[in-house]
Amino acid sequence: MTEWIDACAKDDIDPEDLIRFDHQGRSFAIYRSPDDAFYCTDGLCTHEQVHLADGLVMDHVIECPKHNGQFDYRSGEALRAPVCENLNTYTVKMEGERIWILI
């Protein structure tokens, strides 16, 4: 069963950056794109379970800090080895200044 979770404030995330959000033993990454849209994926790289929150956001790509694998954080698509498996993505909505994710 999915539910909406209040994850963070809009201003908690710089443009073209991400933050880590942990909830009930799961880790998520919430992104703010250069065009000021918000996205959410699993927080751990599908390659070796490294937290993506320490990685680098370039346009719509998140690069893992350990091995430089890349994903499109809008679709979760794996773009560059050593990642081969896509990331799970989650629906995001904004209510006022708050970011909610559907998990």
| Nearest to other proteins of 6, 48 (CB atom) | 48
Closest CA to 29 of 83, 72, 89, 77: 89
**Residues in contact with other proteins, shown as a per-residue x/- string from 31 to 70 under the rule CB under 8 A:** ----------------xxx----xxx-x----x-xxxx-x
84 lines the binding site for other proteins (CB under 8 A): yes
82 lines the binding site for other proteins (CB under 8 A): yes
CB of 26 to other proteins, least distance (A): 18
The H or E element that residue 41 is part of is strand 38-42
Report whether the peptide linkage leading into residue 82 is cis, meaning its omega lies within 30 degrees of zero. Answer: yes
Tokens of 43: 């927080």
Phi and psi at residue 54, to the nearest 5°: -90, 5
d(CA 29, CA 36): 16
12 lines the binding site for other proteins (CB under 8 A): no
80 lines the binding site for other proteins (CB under 8 A): yes
**Residues within the interface to other proteins (CB under 8 A):** 17, 47-49, 54-56, 58, 63, 65-68, 70, 80-82, 84
